Amino acid sequence: MILKEKTKKSLTNNEDRTETVTLEEAGPVAKPANPTKEGYTFTGWYLGDNLYDFNTVVTASITLNAVFEEEDISVVTDNLEVALAEFKKRVDKVKASENTNPEELRKGYQYVTPEKKAELNELINEAQALLDNENSSREEIVAMLTNLNAVDEGLDNHIVVGEKESNYRQIAIIVGSIILGVSLVGGLTILVLVKKRK
């Protein structure tokens, strides 16, 4: 059995991917996971023009096509808006640093190089400009969504997580102890003064 991806109503996506499944004996074939494609909705596995029934006993080679239909531009635009909002949140949490040594960077914080941070912000600006432009085509929006998702997936390869323990906690404990000590000494002094006046 050969599985192929086929796009319905597409003028821009002519790529075909194939996968071959071999059965040891005649019988039904397990339904594969639904494939995904940015800007398209998977409509089902087809044998010729008919939706395939996976209870069918396969006795000879067949070719199934994964058929996709284009999503409406409003759906694609909404998907880009959601993806961009999530991407912005993630990028906002990442700090820029020339230093890439985790042992010298504050523990728990994520860092990228200033060049990478600038590249990420530029991508955000481009995606936002595309959303703000009423004349943006569906193809441009789908391409941006695909690019944004690819950059998001690969971002972990550029992030360095700091491992250096912060001195702020130790300083805060020392300052707190001093304030508490002064308060206690002041409180004792007041108590002593009150007792003497009696």
111 neighbors 160 (Cβ within 8 angstroms) = yes
39 neighbors 138 (Cβ within 8 angstroms) = yes
- pLDDT bin (cut points 50, 70, 90) of residue 187 is low
pLDDT digits (tens, 9 = 90+) for 97-110: 998 888 888 888 89
User: In Å, how far are 19, 26, 41, 98 from 127, measured between CA atoms?
Assistant: 34, 50, 22, 26
> Residue 14 pLDDT > 80, yes or no?
no
| Gap between the Cα atoms of 35 and 66, Å rounded | 8
**Are residues 90 and 106 both part of a single domain?**
yes
User: In Å, how far are 112, 168, 181, 188 from 177, measured between CA atoms?
Assistant: 36, 14, 6, 16
**Are residues 46 and 17 both part of a single domain?**
yes
- pLDDT bin (cut points 50, 70, 90) of residue 197 is very low
Would you state the pLDDT for residue 8? 38
CATH number at residue 52: 2.60.40.4270
Would you state the pLDDT for residue 35? 87
- Containing domain of residue 46, as a range? 2-70
Sheet hosting strand 40-47, strand order edge to edge? 18-20, 2-8, 63-70, 40-47, 50-51
The total number of structural domains that make up the chain? 3
73 neighbors 81 (Cβ within 8 angstroms) = no
Segment 23-42 mean pLDDT: 84
Q: List, in sequence order, every residue forming a beta bridge with 67; answer none if it has no partner.
A: 6, 44
CATH number at residue 152: 1.20.1270
**Are residues 88 and 162 both part of a single domain?**
yes
pLDDT digits (tens, 9 = 90+) for 149-186: 999 999 999 988 888 876 655 566 666 666 666 555 55
